[in-house]
Structure 1
Amino acid sequence: MKIQKIYELAIKEGMKADPRDKEELDKFLEKSKKEYENLKDDEKEFFDLEKLTNPYSDTRILAGDPNTDVSTILCGVDIEVGEVLLADRLREKGKNIDLLLAHHPEGKSLAGLPGVMRVQADIWHREGVPINIGEFLIDERMKEVQRSVMPVNHNRAVDAAKLLGIPFMNVHTPADNMVTSFLQKGFDEVPPYTVKDVISFLRKIPEYNMAAKTGTGPTILVGDGDKRAGRVVVDMTGGTEGPEEVLEKLANAGVGTIVGMHMGSKLRKKALKYHINVVIAGHIASDNLGLNLLLDNLEKEGIEIIECSGFTRISRL
């Protein structure tokens, strides 16, 4: 399977699991097309053409020829310079490594992280928050995240991969969409009665079960296990954490419990203030679940997956 096909498959699966419907995604891509068409000729060279077909600016082929055939992937939650050197060392020992696959973005994907955040407004809208309010709130948060990633040395790992001739790509929001969809479907099919039931549900999933045994599993961050969960909303996609102001809007819309990967102190204080239960499923465990759901598609094609950097392969085939 060629790298380009793996990339296209990741985008396709991400769009299938996207909180937005096909019409909204088509509008998003059409907007990118019009943006490109309206640019002056001397500005078009700076436009990322991948935006015309890929709505996820944090998911890209970062190094290597897209037409390279892949039979073995070294996959990790984070692929940084250390993991690139690990791949090179494995090659020296005779292990075939055709592609480095990261979850978290590097290079141009990291620079593009703020671009995927607007989907959060659509998730809130689905729960009853007016879209105009959601878009205003996320726009301000996007600017904040943009400022935070601007000074980062984005290309360190990408440069290392290029120097060693190892193809490199990452899949961020598509995998996050898949874990969000998977969990939300489970909670909707059998709604948990109490917050403790939310924890029990998560612990039955292999990735969270493993994490619980190492002290990094599902945890109640806000609320009490015996309290009723109310409407459970999975908040695990859209690049990174949203704005703290949205907690009030979600509470007013009737959300009882948020299940997330992580939550900072400011958002936690707002959740306390507005009486929203918060269950932290676990960041790396959630990333593992999203990657595993994606990699099932690649394993069907006979691709071997080698684990590293916090990733454990669990097949559902």
Structure 2
Amino acid sequence: MISTDDLMQLGLELAGWARIPSDCGIYYPGTAIKRLLVGLDIGPGDLLLARQMGFDAVLAHHFDGCEAVLTAWQLYRRHVELMMAMGVPHLAAEAAVDERVEELRLLAHTVNYNRTSGAARLLRMPFLNIHSPLDELGRRMMQEAVDDLLRTEPDVTVAEVAAHLNASLREFQLAPTRIAIRHGDPDAPARRVVVAHGALTNGGADVARTYYEHGVDTVIYIHIAPPEVRKLHRLGRGHLIITGHVASDSLGINAYLAEVERRGIEVVRLNGIVSPESEEPL
């Protein structure tokens, strides 16, 4: 058996983090958990389903409808850490995120922060979400796959990087979405490559442009808005690979759930998580 506190702590330990980040939370605590329902997105109907099917707790990846939606914007500044790790100067990294941070902060005033967490409390269903720690696990998996390729074949193209990610990580093979090159030349050398993930959401054109301006040739996001891609097209430099939201999130989620299952907990996935146990790629 396990508790909601144990589930949260496990996510932090796997990411190597000491504190619960602002995009995570325990909304109704529970103990003696044997059966866990896990979804990429969880709503009140999923909580009711869990109650009807005899689950002891529910774990969401995303924080929609929960109090963490009010503070999650703070995680966007993690892009600064990721950029600086690739050699971007601190002031340039801060400038790349400032405008979007303020937008996200203002948008927090528009959201319903109690729709799902309130239902969990009403149902007395133990419920939590773990977002950025699991995205960090997925980021590391993708970056390690890319780095391994570049160590052995430093002259690979952008297209070959995308193909290697697909071949290396089963969730990409099983997902109905395909890894895509949305900006740049697929046949150009990839050179320096960064996986910019685990910072709440993608960095848009401003973060990608800042990478390009400081010697990172290829940026990997899990998703991006079309207007941001058009900005990059107008910029006319660098390359952008998009790996797909659901498949990419599933990487870290599945790594985490494997550890939960090793502790004897029954885990059932729903709401989009790509199961690594599927027999055939889509």
Give the TM-score of the pair, scaled to structure 2: 0.89
Cross-structure match for 2:276? 314
Q: SS state of the match for residue 195, structure 2?
A: strand
Question: Is the partner of 2:237 in helix, strand or coil?
Answer: coil
Q: 1:128-166: CA deviations, max 9, x gaps? A: 211122123323321111111221111111111111121
Give the counterpart letter for 2:27 in structure 1.
L
SS of 2:190's equivalent? Answer: coil
C-alpha spacing 1:60/1:15, structure 2 compared with 1 (3 Å): same
CA positional deviation for 1:171: 0.7
- Over 3 Å counting, the alpha-carbon distance change for 1:249 and 1:218 in structure 2 is same
1:1-317 map, 5 Å: 1-15=2-16, 54-65=19-30, 68-91=31-54, 97-106=55-64, 107-191=66-150, 193-204=156-167, 205-211=169-175, 214=176, 216-242=177-203, 244-272=205-233, 273-314=235-276
Distance, in Å, in 2 between the alignment partners of 1:140 and 1:286 is 26
For 1:90 and 1:282, how far apart are their aligned partners in 2?
A: 31
One-letter identity of the residue aligned with 1:262: H
Gaps of 5+ in 2: 278-282
Query: How many angstroms does 1:55 deviate by?
Result: 4.9
Deviations 1:211-265 (A, max 9, x none): 1xx2x12111112332221211101111113353333321121112111110113
> Counterpart amino acid of 1:137?
A
Identity %: 30
Distance in 2 separating the partners of 1:207 and 1:13: 19
- TM-score for both structures, normalised by structure 1: 0.80
CA distance in 1, matches of 2:144, 2:248: 15
Alpha-carbon distance in structure 2 between the residues aligned to 1:55 and 1:159 = 20
| C-alpha RMSD of the superposition | 1.7
Distance 1:276-1:270 versus aligned 2 partners, 3 A rule: farther
Q: Deviations over 1:8-50 (max 9, x none)?
A: 111122236xxxxxxxxxxxxxxxxxxxxxxxxxxxxxxxxxx
> Cα distance, 1:277 vs. partner?
1.1
Which is worse superposed, 246-255 or 200-209? 246-255
Q: Distance in 2 between the 1:286 and 1:246 partners?
A: 19
Contact 2:180 2:243 (C-alpha < 8 Å) held by counterparts = yes
